[in-house]
Amino acid sequence: MTKTIREKLEEREYKILSEFAAKSADSKGRKISEPQSDMRTDFQRDRDRILHSKAFRRLKHKTQVFLSPFDDHFRTRLTHTLEVSQIGRSIARALDLNEDLVEAMALGHDLGHTPFGHCGEGVLNELIEEGFHHNLQSVRVVEELEKLNLCQETIEGIRTHSWGYEPTTAEGKVVQLADKIAYINHDIEDSIRAGVISESDLPKECINYFSSNQSKRLNKMISDIVANSAGSPKISMSEEGWYYTTKLREWMFQNVYIESPAKLEEDKARHVIKELFYFYIDKVSKMCPPDKAIRIVTDYISGMTDRYAIERYKENFIPEGFKNGSQDDYLYKLANAQES
């Protein structure tokens, strides 16, 4: 009997992947069982479903660090996601882990992120009694809102990408590390581009260890993980590498993420999210129970792009001048006068 392409790919995974890698044929499966593809493994299908989701497309207009940037070269939540995927795949390939699973986790990890980045997340976290966390909202997006019916391993990797969670697969740990490596490095580059910091401002000991060059710094972080994790079920940086990575991350929080020119507009962004939340709660509560209204409004606002949130705010809170007919009325009057 001729084997399907999927079966050949599954066999290939057993032959070439590490003993610590997740194998698609051994997946814990989906909540709702469905026929398998003849061409793609289950993890490949997860990746494709995320890639074609509406939430993934909206990431292109969601803030990474700089709110609603007009400069095309600043990262958005989408380009951040792609960089996490690239870094994660590089690590997975070097360690013979399941690259398809890493890619699916990475592409889905920020689907539940709010408009205006962590500023928007912070506002919703304050407004909702049980709190709001973008990793859990990302799981809600794939499970409830878009019903992608992903494999349990992919969902678990999305949920545990945030720090403070412990992934159960090597691939999940790769994505957790790739996320940190990606945002530390690209946020440094964007901050330098914006004039918020300069290369010479970076901690000297970190520059001496990693280099001030982004490509070299990124390569050293990735190489450190690979060298420290080869042949081991535990995926991690070396103690020294993690020390300098953490020091660089802490420096970014102190000089960019907390108080810097990059954050000057955050008070306005917080106001937009808060006012929209109360406005929609008032409207929706008239149609359904309060707890359900909060869930609906939270899903709606967290799914907004920066510009969509701003447009909804303008529509509901900024008065417009009275419109009396077409602005081109005078033009038509002139044309009619010429005919008579």
pLDDT band at 92 (very low <50, low <70, confident <90, very high): very high
CA angle (175 as vertex; 172, 176 as ends), nearest 5? 85
Name the pTM for this structure.
Answer: 0.92
Residues 63 and 112 in one domain: yes
Question: In this predicted model, what pLDDT tens digit does every residue of 158-184 receive, in sequence order?
Answer: 999 999 999 999 999 999 999 999 999
Question: Residue 306 in contact with residue 114, Cβ under 8 Å?
Answer: no
- Domain range for residue 246? 5-263
Choosing from 263, 284, 314, the residue where a domain stops is: 263
Do 73 and 214 share a domain, yes or no?
Answer: yes
Note whether 295 and 312 are within 8 A (CB).
no
Residues 290 and 255 in one domain: no
Same domain, 184 and 273: no
What is the domain count for the chain?
2
At 63, is the secondary structure helix, strand, or coil?
A: strand
The answer to whether 133 touches 160, Cβ cutoff 8 Å, is no
What pLDDT is recorded for position 258? 80
- Rounded Cα distance, 317 and 313, in Å: 6
| Residues 190-217: tens digit of each pLDDT | 999 989 999 999 999 999 999 989 999 9
Residues 241 and 316 grouped into a single domain: no
* Rounded Cα distance, 27 and 49, in Å: 17
Check: CB of residue 317 under 8 Å from CB of residue 277.
Answer: no
Give pLDDT, residue 335.
Answer: 67
Residues 236, 283 within the same domain? no
CATH code of the domain covering residue 158? 1.10.3210.10
Of 144, 143, 173, 176, which Cα lies nearest the Cα of 162? 176
pLDDT mean over 293-307: 97
Q: Are residues 208 and 79 in the same domain?
A: yes
Q: Which of 233, 263, 293 is the last residue of a domain?
A: 263
User: Which one is predicted more confidently, 30 or 263?
Assistant: 30
Q: Are residues 285 and 148 in the same domain?
A: no
User: Is residue 72 domain-shared with residue 117, that is, in the same domain?
Assistant: yes
What per-residue confidence (pLDDT) applies to 65? 86
Mean predicted confidence (pLDDT) in 300-318:
96
Q: What backbone phi and psi angles, to 5 degrees, belong to 63?
A: -65, 140
Mean pLDDT of all residues in 61-88? 89
Domain boundary among 263, 285, 303: 263
Same-domain check for residues 297 and 176: no
- Chain segment 237-289, per-residue pLDDT in tens: 999 999 999 999 999 999 998 877 767 789 999 999 999 999 999 999 999 99
Residues 84 and 212 grouped into a single domain: yes
pLDDT digits (tens, 9 = 90+) for 276-292: 999 999 999 999 999 99
Do 319 and 235 have their domain in common? no
290: CB partners within 8 A, 6+ apart:
none
**Measured between alpha carbons, how far is 320 from 179 in angstroms, rounded to an integer?**
43
